[in-house]
Amino acid sequence: GPHHRVGLLSEREVATQVYGLSGRRAERPDATFTDVFARVARRVPDAVAVRHRDRAWTYGELDGRADRLAGALLDAGLGPGETVGVAAERGFDWAVAVLAVWKAGGVYLPACADVPAGRAAAALAASGCGLVLADERNDAWARRIAAGRRVLPVEDGRRGTVGGGGAPADRRVPARPRDAAYLYLTSGSSGRPKVAVCEHAGLLNHLYAKVEDMGLAGEGAGAVVAQTASQGFDISLWQLTAPLLVGGSTRIVDAEVLRDVDAFVTEIVAGGVTVAQVVPSYLEVLLTRLEQEPRTLGALRSLSVTGEPLRQELVRRWFALFPGIPLVNAYGATEVSDDTMHEVLTRPPETGFVPVGRPLPNVHVYVLDEHLALLPLGAPGEIIFSGVCVGRGYLNDEERTRQAFVPDPFRPGARMYRTGDFGRWLPDGRLEFLGRRDEQVRLRGFRIELGEIENRLLAVPGVREAAVVIDRAASAHPRLVAFHTGQPGAAAPGAEELRAELSAEVPAYMVPASFHRLDRLPLTGNGKVDKRLLTRLAGPL
Ligand code: ADP
Taking the CA of residue 148 as centre, how many other CA atoms within 13 Å lie in the half-sphere pointing to its CB?
2
- Closest-CA residue, ligand 1 atom 5, reads 333
Contacts of 176 (CB under 8 A, 6+ apart): 32, 200
Query: How many Å apart are CA 470 and CA 149, to the nearest integer?
Result: 46
pLDDT attached to residue 504: 86
Q: What does DSSP assign to residue 523?
A: B
Question: Are the C-beta atoms of 415 and 386 separated by less than 8 Å?
Answer: yes
Measured between alpha carbons, how far apart are the two ends of the chain, in Å? 46
Beta carbons within 10 angstroms of residue 449's beta carbon: 24
Reported as type and span, the H/E element at residue 313 is helix 312-321
Closest CA to 80 of 109, 110, 104, 108: 104
C-beta 419 within 6 A of ligand 1: yes
Pocket of ligand 1 contains residue 102 by CB under 6 Å:
no
3-class SS letters over 331-381: EEEHHHCEEEEEEEECCCCCCCCCCCEEECCCEEEEEECCCCCECCCCCCE
Spatial separation of the C-alpha atoms in residues 493 and 499, rounded to whole Å: 10
- C-alpha of residue 218 to centroid of ligand 1, in Å: 28
Interval between CA 484 and ligand 1 midpoint (Å): 21
Residue 310 Cα to ligand 1 midpoint, Å, equals 11
Interval between CA 334 and ligand 1 midpoint (Å): 8
The verdict on the CB of residue 436 being under 6 Å from ligand 1 is yes
| pLDDT attached to residue 366 | 93
Give me ligand 1 centre to Cα 8, in Å: 32
Contact 234 CB / ligand 1 (< 6 Å): yes
CA-closest residue to ligand 1 atom 24: 309
For residue 304, CA distances in Å to 85, 278, 313 come to 28, 6, 16
Pairwise CA distance, residues 274 & 454, whole Å: 33
Inter-axis angle of helices 261-270 and 280-292, nearest 10: 90
Among 289, 337, 348, CA closest to 315: 348
ipTM, two decimals, is: 0.96
Q: Determine the distance separating the centroid of ligand 1 and the alpha carbon of 526, expressed in angstroms.
A: 11
Q: What is the pLDDT of residue 162?
A: 45
105: left (phi over 0), alpha (psi -120 to 50) or beta: left
| CB distance 356 to ligand 1 below 6 Å | yes
Q: Which helix (H) or strand (E) holds 436?
A: strand 431-436
Look at ligand 1, atom 13, and give the residue with the nearest C-alpha. 333
Ligand 1 center from residue 414 Cα (angstroms): 23
Q: Which atom of ligand 1 is nearest to the CA of 435?
A: 16
**pLDDT under 70 in the chain at which residues?**
1-25, 157-170, 187-192, 440, 444-445, 474-476
Instruction: Please work out whether the CB of residue 187 comes within 6 Å of at least one atom of ligand 1.
Output: no
- The one-letter amino acid code at 522 reads P
Asked if 299 and 322 touch (Cβ cutoff 8 Å), the reply is no
The pLDDT of residue 266 is 98
Cα separation values, 479 from 190, 420, 521, Å: 23, 22, 20
List, for residues 369-386, the tens digit of each pLDDT value: 999 998 988 999 999 999
Helix (H) or strand (E) holding 423: strand 415-425
* Residue 435 alpha carbon to ligand 1 centre in Å: 10
pLDDT (tens digit per residue) in 501-518: 998 888 888 899 999 999
Q: Can you give the pLDDT at residue 167? A: 56
pLDDT value, residue 155:
87
How high is the pLDDT of residue 505?
82
**Cα 333 to ligand 1 centroid, rounded to whole Å:** 5
CA nearest 280: which of 187, 356, 347?
356
Q: Is the CB of 141 under 6 A from ligand 1?
A: no
Residue nearest to atom 19 of ligand 1 (CA): 307
Q: Is the CB of 421 under 6 A from ligand 1?
A: yes
Instruction: State the maximum Cα–Cα separation within the chain, in Å, rounded to a whole number.
Output: 76
- Residue 171: which residues within 8 A CB-CB, separation 6 or more? 71, 74, 165
Count the residues in the chain: 541
- What b-and-e string marks burial along 286-321, b requiring 16 or more CB atoms within 10 Å of the CB? bbebbeeeeeebbbbbbbbbbbbbbbbbbbebbbee
Tell me, using a 6 A CB cutoff, whether residue 309 lines ligand 1: yes
**Please, are residues 537 and 473 in contact by the beta-carbon 8 Å criterion?**
no
Our answer on whether the CB atom of 433 is closer than 6 Å to any ligand 1 atom is: yes
Using the mean position of ligand 1's atoms as its centre, give its distance from the Cα of residue 139 in Å: 32
Give the residue among 292, 333, 289, 284 at the shortest CA–CA distance from 310.
Answer: 284
d(CA 462, CA 465): 9
Mutate to test the pocket of ligand 1, among 315, 433, 436 (most ligand atoms within 8 A of CB): 433
CA separation for the pair 281, 27 (Å, rounded)? 35
Q: Please tell me if the CB atom of residue 493 comes closer than 6 angstroms to any atom of ligand 1.
A: no
